[in-house]
Chains A and B, each alone.
Chain A
Amino acid sequence: MLDFPRWKIASIIGVLLVGILLAVPSFIPEATAKRMGLGFAPRINFGLDLAGGSHILLEADTADVAKSRLSNMQDTVRAAMRKNTPGPIAIGDISTANNALSFFVRDPAQLDAAVDTARNLTQPVGTSGTRDWTVQVVDSTRIVMTQTQGGINQFIDQAMTGAVDIVRKRIDALGTKEPTIARQGSDRILVEVPGVQDPTALKALIGKTAKLEFKLVDTQADPAKVQAGQAPIGDQLLPYNGRPLAVFRQAILTGGDLKTARQDYDQNGQPAVAISFNAKGSRAFAETTQQNVGKPFAIILDGQVLSAPNINEPILGGTASISGSFTAQSAQALAIALQSGSLPIALKTVEERTVGPGLGADSVHAGIIASAIAVAAVVIFMFVTYGRFGFYADLAVVINVFVILGLMALLNATLTLPGIAGFVLTIGTAVDANVLINERIREERRRGRNVVQAVELGYKEASRTIFEANMTHAITGLIMLILGSGPVKGFAVVLLFGIATSVFTAVLFTRMLVALWIRRQRPQAINI
């Protein structure tokens, strides 16, 4: 017990010193730390509830995936049959009922060729050997194409990977500091952006699909039928200022043909988005506008017609301007969204938590005060109860506070508001180890053991109990960390750190202090 070699003392003090030093940079304002050349030092991250900011959970609209793949495949099949070599394959109307494509092949002799063509449009799913669509012949005349679940899942998976990248590009374009963008599970994206004053713009931007299409307006369509919601063959109806507009299905250009997009003003001084196309887009746009002078075309964003200007002259320069009823801010957002590309899958917000900077600052302030008072109260209580031994425990607690912070900084852990609660609780529980030890020493003294024996037994017998008690704490802490969400995790992190460090400080460090004191003073009696 009293045997504490020099190297042991040195290493205990060394470890604690390192822990405390690691905590120091977190107390210095970031700018000051940089000036002092401590910019490299690890700091504790504040969670969104302390720093202010937004936590947004986006979920992919997977119900929509099957439907949109179906309609894409419909177009693809039609085009492929038409462009078939050696000659086009004549097929009847493609039905999309029952979530499957179904069509007649007019010439039975071409059935096998049609099946081959359809099969060529399907993709393998991973390495599973299955494909994303099954192609079957029904009644020897009809081809039925059905999506496989594996195909849908693969599409979602790839789309989500793309979506995460696009969301990241958009947030980076806003210039926000240290955002977190992470895929969660199969169909969710978690976005955490600290320090945003007003998340409205952010939310509007990241969830925007931004699917841009240029399509010619069908001027031949019968206005009465269009109004009644009946689209001519090869057309689709899209809302334009609250009324349907018939446009040709075939797009002249899509967002994929864009080179740049930036916020600008149109000739009337209204905010607009100036776009330029890549080589392929420029050529297609030039060709179409040359052939359709005097006719209107529609600029379509996410299935809504923004504007339908007339083609007054061929547009050869590969640039265009999108105007609508934009504000400078919404035009800016659209420009960013277009520049980053369209989301391959629609995303919607399923959870959002925003903490204003005022509340965050209040919470930090209150947390610091509460922690300081808690430490002071516990320190006084321990001292009046256990005297010198209480003082040693107090030293351990105060050091423990810094070591927890230092460790959190080192491991880049995030401190949240519940984390502060965990902190205060840890202050209370950390001294439990010392209470156990000191009570045991009191007991052993009452049983008539001498000072050294009592202290020795106190530490030895209490250690087992302390280990077991902390194990149960750690079990609940781990469960919180694994199963908990958001705030519960932040709490668990501090609790677990506290358990680890408090065993070190409360048991080993105080034992060293007691041993050194007894060795020096050789007391015959102790006041405990």
Chain B
Amino acid sequence: MARDHRKPITYKDAATEALLQAMEKDEKVFLMGEGVDNITGVYGQVLPAYKKFGPSRVIDTPLSENGLTGFAIGAALDGMRPVLIHQRNDFMLLAMDQMMNQAAKLRYASGGHHKVPLTILSFVARRPGEGVQHSHSLQSVFAHFPGIKVGMPASAVDAKGMLLSAIFDDDPVIILEHRHNPLFEKKEFVPKRYYETPFTSNVVVSGQDVTIVTVSITLLNAIEASGEFNAKGIYPEIMDLRWLRPIDINPIIQSIKKTGRLLVVDTGWRSCSISSEIVALVAERAHGYLKCPPRRITLPDTPCPASQYLEPYYHPTTKAIIQAVKEMV
């Protein structure tokens, strides 16, 4: 991707730029969410849009997650492109009826007539003390439902491009940013121009010894781990999944045919998850190519402890990736 002449910007600022460019491009785009007009709301990510477009297109809302989703669906049915913003993805569980019974179904139930171009933007938090409810990473829950797309950007370039793809897609799309600082404040060269990220997975590092499929921020752990491997002559292929639905499995299958080894790293729980899904798809389509059993690094199947002494060990780590690959290769 051609670099524009400017300094690197953060993941957060790249997403901000996407919101601004979407609103400039199409006056049917509007934003809704609690605290969107406030510096402390949504981590300041939406404030520039509020300053530029004002309260008629950037609406500070009551705490009515399910209702707001329905309002956004209604506006979308009338041709608008609403972006509904939840400060944390835990709150999205209050809107499951509208997201999954309604938004995900209305195109199908109307025989393809209705479009629901709704974007739901939310955040996965991760910090000591956030506890059992504020540190959810719920992508697998949302990706279970046909009719709705789910993406998790793992770079500043994708934080912008995936959000723009979502806003101008004609189906409901959920974008989950990851708020953990190594990613959220990470600076990259991000093209200034308008661009959309395709609904594909992304080979970030090419290699031939093991395929590491990462979800969201775990990409950074895999890249960090790869430095250690390269010194030992091990070359992993690192693939950022980007979209859980639609899942772009073919490049992963191709990679497995080359490497014969699969490691999936996810920010979510283990059971009934995107990591389960990837392992299942590889088992169905590339079983004969596997040289060893697939491995997964995920959250343990427990809620997240609040204590700062336990919390750091709860999440996938670079160390765990190094250990797993050592055992596989």
Whether A and B are associated in the same complex: the answer reads no
Q: Measuring CB to CB, which residues of chain A are less than 8 angstroms from any residue of chain B?
A: none
